[in-house]
Amino acid sequence: GEVIVKLKSGVNKSFLNDKSNGLSLKKQVRDNLMVVNFDSALKGGIESTLAELNSMPEVEYAEPNFIYKIVKPITHKDIVSDLLKTDDQTYNTPVDAKFGQLWGLHNTGNNTPGGDRGVAGADVDALRAWGITKGDRSIKIAVIDTGIDYRHPDLADNMWVNDAELNGQAGVDDDGNGYVDDIHGYDFANNDGDPMDGHSHGTHSAGTIGASHNAIGVAGVMADVEFVGVKFLTDRGSGSTADAIESIDYATKVGVDIMSNSWGGGGRSQALHEAIERANAEGIIFTAAAGNSSTDNDSRPHYPSNYEVDNVISVAASTSADTLASFSCYGRRTVHIAAPGHKILSTTKNGGYASYSGTSMATPHVTGVIGLLLANEGRLNPLDVRNRVMQTSEPVPALRGKTINGGRINAYNLLTNTIPDRDEPNP
């Protein structure tokens, strides 16, 4: 029952709030971007509503306000229940015990949760990269998701703190950025300043990017980083195009270095495309999960990972055996890189830990590795970063023809700009 309408400049929005014509203005997202409810009985459904709006001279475009969901694999529940048992036994043990299960950071060939056989070295090469940098608090990363458990003992020290709001008055926009009480981020699902995670998906993503190296729990790709919690997916894991746009615009305004996006669905949205372009214009990287439907994104586009903006990096999931995960989407023209995304142990809500699988888990590995690069070299042009991520990736036979150049991300190669030989043609 909702559409997004972009008005031409200088047009009065009042005609979008006309009950006699079956339209009511729900929300103004930006100056000229509106969310409008329509009366299905009067308008005859979304297609005819969009056709009518798109034919109006005042309207630049009208499109559906899509529902997006967390990118979640079919095997999710099985693996969580499997691993919660392991977790219970190892909870609160020193970092080394849990670090030993993080095959995505350091694959020994024998350390995949659940006992799968792995391939030693089929990881992001974190140990060698950490010889160069472990990250820096100056790097801000927005996790655009279900929120972050910002009290989690493995994440609390790496949360962004908006000092003006922390030291300011409750209910007042102390820093004047247009958002009230946004101390650690914002919640666009509930329109308040509290991005606490009631689901776990966003918290899991944050832990992979940058759980503290603090002798408890797990370790992130980055030891030091600042997370901005940007919540637009509800505790049930879904959210709308309009809220996604507000999330991206908020993170752009905060001035993050990277936005990590483990969500998708719906069709192509011009309004969302424009929000990603605004982030790109500020030099912000936008990593995005390729999707978990085992399909080819070249022929069946998945959004937001398929938007053709220079800062978008689409991420497929690899396994500890160095194969493409069975659920992972792929695309030799549209997926840029693969990263560990199968049986990934990380942080969950209420201070917990669990192992999940999905391109949702691969994406934060790429986010964290790029975070290391920016910590080491400062802001870089997003397109240059994307090309360097692909060129320095480790060629993996199982990924040939599945991503643009058939590689798994390698943090050490990326930091040192080491470009492996690719002597065989890309099929």
Smallest gap from Cβ 245 to Ca ion, in A, equals 19
Nearer to Ca ion, 2 or 243 (CB): 243
Is residue 192 within the footprint of Ca ion (CB under 5 A)? no
- Catalytic-residue membership of 322: no
Q: Counting every residue, how long is the chain?
A: 427
The answer to whether the Cα torsion of 125, 127, 133, 139 is positive or negative is: positive
What part of residues 279-338 is at the interface with Ca ion (CB under 5 A)? none
- Catalytic-residue membership of 199: no
Q: How far apart are CA 161 and CA 138, in angstroms?
A: 12
Catalytic residue among 201, 213, 302, 336: 201
Catalytic residue among 87, 360, 365, 393: 360
Smallest gap from Cβ 177 to Ca ion, in A, equals 4
Smallest gap from Cβ 185 to Ca ion, in A, equals 11
What part of residues 123-182 is at the interface with Ca ion (CB under 5 A)? 173, 175, 177, 179, 182
Smallest gap from Cβ 231 to Ca ion, in A, equals 15
Nearer to Ca ion, 121 or 178 (CB): 178
Nearer to Ca ion, 38 or 179 (CB): 179
Nearer to Ca ion, 174 or 310 (CB): 174
Catalytic residue among 87, 145, 257, 322: 145
- Catalytic-residue membership of 336: no
Smallest gap from Cβ 182 to Ca ion, in A, equals 5
Q: How many residues bind Ca ion (CB under 5 A)?
A: 5
Smallest gap from Cβ 180 to Ca ion, in A, equals 6
- Residues lying near Ca ion in the complex (CB under 5 A): 173, 175, 177, 179, 182
Active centre residues (catalytic) = 145, 201, 360
